[in-house]
Amino acid sequence: EPEVTQTPSHQVTQMGQEVILRCVPISNHLYFYWYRQILGQKVEFLVSFYNNEISEKSEIFDDQFSVERPDGSNFTLKIRSTKLEDSAMYFCASSEAGLGLDEKLFFGSGTQLSVL
Amino acid sequence: LAKTTQPISMDSYEGQEVNITCSHNNIATNDYITWYQQFPSQGPRFIIQGYKTKVTNEVASLFIPADRKSSTLSLPRVSLSDTAVYYCLVDNYGQNFVFGPGTRLSVLP
């Protein structure tokens, strides 16, 4: 079964450093998402991406965050200057078509980001 | 954006049937109802999706009454490995999936 893959599985960084989280969505999917989950809390939407541009973003996704699809397979989330409160599990997801009607999301296993 | 309400937690024993009900009073005509399962340190995993009446797959059944203001996920004969958080989502057409706190199911031996 095709799956969304994320690397690295764990990332430790110092506060103020830049990090890039990487994702390879399912190959025929056209819509890509980033979510995060702080330990013990709910899954929070960050951003959706389609046709090489952001479709929607939450208030969490401020100027410190950016997303990119640098080639035909990767989808990245960059945090420019990490803060302690950015520590969380970050999930990438993809869907075959846009949300609406009967669409469903496929999630990766996540990248655990720890900011020290 | 349709908001969902589910119990925060439920306990069950192995071999029992578990029913988790979700309320979504403001569901729109175009909205589908989707359930996800999440194990610790893993991403949510799609379980089942429906629009109305009953849907069944190899994992679960989903019951949706005619008014569609609620839905019930039914897990037949649960095992210890079904211990997870279960999320009910209502897709507001054109909006992005918003996860609530979900229902934490604990299956006991």
Whether the CB of A104 is below 8 Å from some CB of chain B: the reply is: yes
| Contact between A56 and B95 using a beta-carbon 8 Å cutoff | yes
Query: Edge-to-edge strand order for the sheet containing A19-24?
Result: A5-7, A19-24, A75-79, A65-68
Provide the b/e sequence for B19-42 (b: ≥16 CB within 10 Å). Answer: ebebebeebeeebbbbbbbbeeee
Residues of A within 8 A of B46 (CB-CB) are 104-106
Q: pLDDT-based confidence at B28, cuts 50/70/90? A: confident
CA distance A60 to A42: 14
Q: Is B9 on the interface with A (CB under 8 A)?
A: no
CB contact under 8 A, B99 and A33: no
Select from A33, A100, A109 the Cβ nearest to the Cβ of B30. A100
Please answer yes or no on whether A102 and B102 come within 8 Å at the CB atom. Answer: no
- Classify each residue of A79-99 as buried b or exposed e, where b means 16 or more C-beta atoms within 10 Å of its C-beta: beebeeebbbbbbbbbbeeeb
- Render pLDDT for A3-59 as a digit per residue (tens, 0 to 9): 999 999 999 999 999 999 999 999 989 899 999 999 988 899 999 999 899 988 999
Higher pLDDT, A72 or B103: B103
Taking 60 as the threshold, does the pLDDT of residue B22 lie above it?
A: yes
User: Which helix H or strand E contains B13, and what residues bound it?
Assistant: strand B9-13
Question: What rounded mean pLDDT belongs to chain A?
Answer: 92
Size of interface A-B (CB pairs under 8 A): 62
